[in-house]
C-alpha cells in the first residue's frame, strides 16, 4: 500500500467530521464576521455593507463601557472570593474529623447542580416577600425590614456574586484538595521542628504546592466568569437599571431583543477577542508557573 | 545522666502495637543507629523522639529533661529527612537559616551561622539558588546544613542517604562520619542499610517487630550477634545458617555424614541446633574444621570472589579475596576456625555460644 493512498484514506475517513465542523462552527463564524460589517436586522433582508460602523458604534457607546465594567467587577469579585473560600474549605476538608468523607461529597453538590437550578434557587432565597434571606436577616436583627435584594441597584450584583460563589467555589476546593494530598509530609514535619507556626507553614510549605493547580482553577474560573450569562439572565435579566448587565447579556440584547443582527455580531466578535486574549495571557502565565514549579 | 533516655516506650495504632517497650540510654556524643527492615518501628521511634508522634506509654528525655508534651520546636533537636524536605520557594540560605529565623535570631548572627554551616558542607556557592536547581546530593547537604545551624542537643536522621545513588551515598556517608567526629553531637540515625549502620555507628540498636533485638557496638553486633535474625541481617553476603544435630563425637550437619569436631556450648540444651558461619570465616588451608563444598556458582564482585555450593543438602556461601581462582564444579575443602562458629537455638533463635553473656 503506498503512502499516498494511506494519506488519502486518512483524509477520507476524517471528511465527515470535517464537514460537520465546518457546518456548525466554521460557517456560523464566517457568517458572524460577514454580518458584523452590515446593518442586517434579525428578521428581513440581508442588510447593506457598512464597513466598521458597527464596531465603532459599539466600542464608543456608553452601554458597552458600563457593561465592560460590570463584567470585570463580577469576574474579579466572584473569582477572588471563590479562590479564597475554595482554598479555606479545602484546608478544612484536608483535616481529619468525623464525617469528613460525607462532607467532601456534599461539597460537590452546588457545583454539580445545573446553573438554571442554582439561579432559580437563589431567586427564591432573595425573594422580597417570602425569601429565606430576608427572614434570616430580620430574625437575627441585621435588617429591620424585608428588602428586594435583586431589585435594588446597590445589592443586585452582590446578590448574584454570592450565588455564583456558592455554585463555583467547590471546583476550587476540589482542585486545591487534590493538590494538598501532594504536600510532602516530611516538609510539614521539618517546618514543625524548625518552629514555623500555622501561617508560616501555609506560606512556605503548603502554598508552593498549591500555586500551580490554583493557577489552573483561576484561569478556568476567570474565563467562565467573563462569559457569564445564564445565572444573571435568570436572576435579573441584567437589571435593575442595567447594573448587572454583562457583555454576554449585552450581546444577546443587541442581537435578539433589539433584533440588530449586524451590531450584535460585531459585539459578539469583540467579546470573543477579549476572551481569547485573556486565555492567551493565562496560557503564558501557566507556562511560567509550571516552569518555576520545576 | 544520659544525653538521650527512652524509658519503656510503647506505641499502638489501633490494635496494632508497633513499639513494644523500647529502652535506650545513650551517652552524650554517641552515634546511635536504629537498624531494621521496613515496618520494624524504627521510623516511628524516631518520630516520637522528634515529637512528631506521641507515644502510647513511656517517655523520652534529653539531658534528664522529660519531653512529654513538649512541641518539636522546643525539644532542642534537629532532623534530616529522607526526602530532604526543603522549602521549595526559599533560597538555600533561607532554607538553612529558617529555624533560626523562626526563633527570631537577629539577622547578622543568622547570616554568620548560615555561612559557617555552608562552609562546613562546601555549599557556599549555592546559597542563592532554589532547591529545584540543586542535585540530590546538594539538597541533602542543604538539609544537613539546616540541622547544623540550630546546634541542637540531638540530631535525628531519617534514612538520609536512601534517595542518593550508590556513589554519592558513600561520599555522604564519609562526610557524615567526618561531621560527627568534628562536632561530637549526639546523633540518632535510622536506616535499613547495614553497611551505613556498621560504618557510622558507635552504637547500634537492631530492631525487629517493635523491639530492640540487640543493642551494642558495631563490632559486638557483627561478631557476637544475639539472635539468628541479627546474624543474617548484618553482613553481606549474609551469615550461613546450617541446621544440625549434636551427636556423640560432635555436630552433624543435616545431609552430611561426617561429624564436625565442634565443642558443644553449655547453653545448648536441645540436640537440634543452628550453626551460623560468616562467608568470610571460611578459609582454604589446613587449620580448622574441614567442610567439603561442591561449587555451583562462582561470582567475582571485584574485591572478592563469592562461591555458592552445597554442603550435604544445604546451601553454603563462602567469600575469598579475588586473587583466588575457583571454578564451577570444583570440590573445595573449606576450613572453619572453631572460634568462628556461631550457635543459635532452633526455636528461639537466641545465641548459645559460651561468650553470649559478656
Say whether A193 and B79 touch across the interface (CB within 8 A): yes
Chain B: closest CA distance from residue A71 (Å): 35
Give the C-alpha separation, B172 to B71, whole Å: 30
Q: Cell numbers of A107, please?
A: 461539597
DSSP β-bridge partners for residue B59 = B7
Contact (Cβ atoms closer than 8 angstroms) between residue A143 and residue A149? no
For residues B214 and B271, state if they share a domain: no
Interface of B with A in 236-255 (CB under 8 A): none
Q: Chain B residue with minimal CA distance to A291?
A: B132
Fold for domain A52-292? MetI-like fold (1.10.3720)
Q: Chain B residue with minimal CA distance to A190?
A: B85
Give me the mean pLDDT over the B272-282 stretch. 94
Q: Nearest by CB to B85, from A187, A208, A293: name it.
A: A187
pLDDT per position as a tens digit, B279-324: 999 998 888 899 999 999 999 998 899 999 998 889 999 999 988 8
Contacts of B292-296 spanning 24+ positions with Cβ under 8 A: B292/B256, B292/B258, B292/B331, B292/B332, B292/B333, B292/B334, B293/B318, B293/B331, B293/B332, B293/B334, B294/B329, B294/B330, B294/B331, B294/B332, B295/B326, B295/B327, B295/B328, B295/B329, B295/B330, B295/B331, B295/B332, B296/B328
Say whether A209 and B77 touch across the interface (CB within 8 A): no
Burial of residue B292, with CB atoms counted within 10 A of its CB: 0-12 exposed, 13-18 middle, 19 or more buried: middle
For residues B83 and B219, state if they share a domain: yes
- Note whether B99 contacts A: Cβ–Cβ < 8 A: yes
For residues B93 and B154, state if they share a domain: yes
Contact (Cβ atoms closer than 8 angstroms) between residue B2 and residue B39? no
Give the C-alpha separation, B318 to B237, whole Å: 9
Burial of residue A284, with CB atoms counted within 10 A of its CB: 0-12 exposed, 13-18 middle, 19 or more buried: exposed
pLDDT value at position B358?
46
For residues B35 and B107, state if they share a domain: yes
Indicate whether B87 pLDDT > 70: yes
Q: Which of residues B199, B225, B251 is at a domain's end?
A: B225
Which residues of B are less than 8 Å from A190 in CB distance?
Answer: 79, 81, 85-86, 146
pLDDT per position as a tens digit, B72-83: 999 999 999 999
Chain B: closest CA distance from residue A277 (Å): 30
% of chain B with per-residue pLDDT over 90: 72
Q: Which of residues B173, B201, B225 is at a domain's end?
A: B225
Burial of residue B215, with CB atoms counted within 10 A of its CB: 0-12 exposed, 13-18 middle, 19 or more buried: middle
User: Mean pLDDT for each consecutive 10-residue tract of chain A (294 residues)?
Assistant: 83 94 92 88 79 85 88 94 95 90 91 92 90 89 85 90 94 93 91 91 91 87 90 89 90 87 88 88 76 51
Q: Chain A residue with minimal CA distance to B158?
A: A186
**Residue B354 maps to a domain:** no
pLDDT value at position A292?
55
- Note whether B57 contacts A: Cβ–Cβ < 8 A: no
For residues B24 and B151, state if they share a domain: yes
- What is the domain-level CATH number for residue B271? 2.40.50.140
Q: Cell numbers of B83, please?
A: 526526602
Number of domains in chain B: 2
- Note whether A194 contacts B: Cβ–Cβ < 8 A: yes
- Note whether A145 contacts B: Cβ–Cβ < 8 A: no
Q: Determine if the peptide bond prior to A240 is cis (ω within 30°).
A: yes
Which residues of B are less than 8 Å from A294 in CB distance?
Answer: 88, 132
Q: Chain B residue with minimal CA distance to A202?
A: B87
Which residues of B are less than 8 Å from A189 in CB distance?
Answer: 47, 50, 52, 72, 79, 81, 85
Interface of A with B in 74-113 (CB under 8 A): none
Say whether B89 and A204 touch across the interface (CB within 8 A): yes
For residues B125 and B264, state if they share a domain: no
Q: Chain A residue with minimal CA distance to B94?
A: A204
DSSP A43: S
Greater pLDDT, A51 or B194:
B194
For residues B18 and B107, state if they share a domain: yes
Q: What is the ipTM of this complex?
A: 0.84
- Note whether A193 contacts B: Cβ–Cβ < 8 A: yes
For chain B, what is the mean pLDDT? Answer: 91
Say whether B81 and A190 touch across the interface (CB within 8 A): yes
> Best residue in B44, B91, B95, B102 to probe A by mutation, most A CBs within 10 Å?
B102
For residues B307 and B321, state if they share a domain: yes
For residues B69 and B48, state if they share a domain: yes
CA dihedral A100, A103, A107, A109 (to 10 degrees): 140
- Note whether B78 contacts A: Cβ–Cβ < 8 A: yes
Say whether A190 and B52 touch across the interface (CB within 8 A): no
Indicate whether B1 pLDDT > 80: no
Q: Nearest by CB to B87, from A192, A193, A204: name it.
A: A204
Could you tell me where the DSSP H helices lie in A181-260? Answer: 185-194, 198-201, 207-226, 230-235, 247-252
Match 471563590 to its residue by C-alpha cell: A82
Say whether B79 and A190 touch across the interface (CB within 8 A): yes
Q: Chain A residue with minimal CA distance to B88?
A: A208
**Residue B357 maps to a domain:** no
**Residue B33 maps to a domain:** yes
Indicate whether B199 pLDDT > 70: yes
Is residue A148 helix, strand or coil?
coil
Residues 6+ apart with CB under 8 A from B330: B294, B295
Greater pLDDT, B61 or B324:
B61
Q: Which of residues B225, B256, B283 is at a domain's end?
A: B225
For residue A4, count other CB atoms closer than 10 A to its CB.
8
- Note whether B72 contacts A: Cβ–Cβ < 8 A: yes
Residues 6+ apart with CB under 8 A from A142: none
Give the C-alpha separation, A13 to B211, whole Å: 68
**Residue B281 maps to a domain:** yes
List b or e across A112-134, with b for residues whose CB sees 16 or more CB atoms inside 10 angstroms.
Answer: eeebeebbeebbebbbeeebebb
Largest CA distance in chain A: 83
Give the C-alpha separation, B156 to B51, whole Å: 11
Pairing of β B331-336 and β B65-66: unpaired
Contact (Cβ atoms closer than 8 angstroms) between residue B89 and residue B98? no
For residues B8 and B111, state if they share a domain: yes
Residue range of the domain that includes B300: 230-344
Say whether B73 and A193 touch across the interface (CB within 8 A): yes
Amino acid at each position: 500500500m503506498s503512502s499516498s493512498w494511506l494519506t488519502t484514506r486518512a483524509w477520507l475517513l476524517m471528511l465527515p467530521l470535517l464537514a460537520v465542523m465546518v457546518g456548525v462552527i466554521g460557517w456560523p463564524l464566517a457568517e458572524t464576521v460577514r454580518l458584523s460589517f452590515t446593518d442586517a436586522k434579525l428578521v428581513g433582508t440581508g442588510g447593506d455593507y457598512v464597513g466598521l460602523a458597527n464596531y465603532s458604534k459599539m466600542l464608543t457607546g456608553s452601554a458597552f463601557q458600563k457593561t465592560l465594567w460590570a463584567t470585570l467587577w463580577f469576574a474579579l469579585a466572584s473569582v477572588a472570593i471563590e479562590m479564597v473560600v475554595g482554598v479555606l474549605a479545602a484546608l478544612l476538608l484536608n483535616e481529619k474529623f468525623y464525617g469528613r468523607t460525607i462532607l467532601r461529597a456534599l461539597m460537590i453538590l452546588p457545583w454539580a447542580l445545573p446553573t438554571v437550578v442554582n439561579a432559580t434557587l437563589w431567586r427564591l432565597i432573595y425573594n422580597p416577600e417570602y425569601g429565606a434571606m430576608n427572614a434570616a436577616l430580620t430574625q437575627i436583627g441585621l435588617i429591620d425590614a424585608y428588602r428586594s435584594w435583586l431589585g435594588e441597584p446597590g445589592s443586585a450584583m452582590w446578590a448574584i456574586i454570592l450565588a455564583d460563589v456558592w455554585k463555583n467555589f467547590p471546583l476550587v476546593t476540589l482542585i486545591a484538595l487534590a493538590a494538598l494530598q501532594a504536600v510532602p509530609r516530611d516538609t510539614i514535619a521539618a517546618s514543625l521542628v524548625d518552629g514555623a507556626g500555622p501561617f508560616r507553614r501555609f506560606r512556605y510549605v503548603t502554598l508552593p504546592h498549591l500555586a500551580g493547580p490554583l493557577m489552573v482553577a483561576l484561569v478556568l474560573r476567570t474565563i467562565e466568569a467573563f462569559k457569564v450569562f445564564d445565572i444573571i439572565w435568570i436572576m435579573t435579566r441584567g437589571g435593575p437599571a442595567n447594573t448587572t448587565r454583562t457583555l454576554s447579556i449585552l450581546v444577546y440584547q443587541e442581537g435578539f431583543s433589539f433584533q440588530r443582527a449586524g451590531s450584535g455580531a460585531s459585539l459578539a466578535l469583540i467579546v470573543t477577542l477579549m476572551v481569547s486574549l485573556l486565555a492567551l495571557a493565562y496560557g503564558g502565565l501557566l507556562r511560567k508557573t509550571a516552569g518555576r514549579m520545576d | 545522666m544520659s544525653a538521650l533516655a527512652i524509658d519503656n516506650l510503647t506505641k499502638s495504632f489501633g490494635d496494632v502495637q508497633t513499639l513494644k517497650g523500647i529502652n535506650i540510654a545513650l551517652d552524650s556524643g554517641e552515634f546511635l543507629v536504629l537498624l531494621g527492615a521496613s515496618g520494624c518501628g524504627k521510623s516511628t521511634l524516631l518520630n516520637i523522639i522528634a515529637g512528631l508522634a506521641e507515644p502510647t506509654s513511656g517517655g523520652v528525655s534529653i539531658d534528664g529533661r522529660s519531653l512529654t508534651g513538649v512541641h518539636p520546636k522546643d525539644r532542642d533537636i534537629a532532623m534530616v529527612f529522607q526526602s530532604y524536605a526543603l522549602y521549595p520557594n526559599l533560597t538555600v540560605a533561607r532554607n538553612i537559616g529558617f529555624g533560626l529565623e523562626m526563633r527570631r535570631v537577629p539577622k547578622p548572627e543568622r547570616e554568620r551561622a548560615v555561612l559557617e554551616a555552608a562552609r562546613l558542607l562546601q555549599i557556599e556557592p549555592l546559597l542563592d539558588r532554589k532547591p529545584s536547581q540543586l542535585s540530590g546530593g546538594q539538597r541533602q547537604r542543604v538539609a544537613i546544613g539546616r540541622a547544623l545551624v540550630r546546634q541542637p542537643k540531638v540530631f535525628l536522621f531519617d534514612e538520609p542517604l536512601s534517595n542518593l545513588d550508590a556513589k554519592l551515598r558513600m561520599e555522604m556517608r564519609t562526610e557524615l562520619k567526618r561531621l560527627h567526629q568534628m562536632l561530637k553531637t549526639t546523633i540518632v540515625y535510622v536506616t535499613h542499610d547495614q553497611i551505613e549502620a556498621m560504618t557510622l555507628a558507635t552504637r547500634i540498636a537492631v530492631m525487629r517487630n517493635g523491639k530492640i533485638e540487640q543493642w551494642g557496638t558495631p563490632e559486638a553486633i557483627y561478631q557476637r550477634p544475639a539472635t539468628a535474625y541479627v546474624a543474617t541481617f548484618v553482613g553481606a553476603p549474609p551469615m550461613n545458617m546450617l541446621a544440625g544435630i549434636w551427636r556423640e563425637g560432635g555436630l552433624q550437619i543435616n545431609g552430611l555424614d561426617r561429624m564436625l569436631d565442634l565443642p558443644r556450648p553449655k547453653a545448648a540444651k536441645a540436640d537440634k541446633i543452628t550453626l551460623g558461619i560468616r562467608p568470610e570465616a571460611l578459609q582454604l588451608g589446613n587449620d580448622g574444621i574441614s567442610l567439603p563444598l561442591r561449587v555451583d556458582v562462582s561470582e567475582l564482585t571485584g574485591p572478592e570472589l563469592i562461591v555458592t555450593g552445597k554442603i550435604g543438602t544445604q546451601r553454603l556461601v563462602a567469600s575469598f579475596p579475588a586473587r583466588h581462582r575457583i571454578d564451577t564444579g570444583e570440590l573445595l575443602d573449606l576450613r572453619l576456625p572453631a572460634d568462628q562458629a556461631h550457635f543459635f537455638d532452633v526455636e528461639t533463635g537466641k545465641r548459645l555460644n559460651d561468650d553470649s553473656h559478656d
